Amino acid sequence: MVARCSPPVSAKERILRAVRRLHDEADFWAIAEEIAFLAALDRGKQDTEAGRVVSNEAAEKTPEPWIST
């Protein structure tokens, strides 16, 4: 079995595909939320590829900043 790699899809094309999947009555806010979600996924992928990650164990040891002692 041969693995096939598809060419990379541009951010614009990913957004257009996502918007097309939304229902026709989607308002501007729903569309903006979808774009923000895709941007967050892309940022996470970039951070992971650049090694800017924290292990689950390290995260569990870090106290939440909103909890005061």
Q: Give the model's pLDDT for residue 34.
A: 97
Q: Where are the beta strands (DSSP E) in the chain?
A: none
pLDDT of 45 > 80? The answer is yes
Residue 3 has pLDDT above 90, yes or no: no
**30 contacts: CB under 8 Å, gap ≥ 6:** 22
Q: Residue 66: pLDDT above 60?
A: yes
Domain ranges of the chain: 12-20+27-49
Residues 6+ apart with CB under 8 A from 35: 15, 18
Q: Give pTM, 2 decimals.
A: 0.70
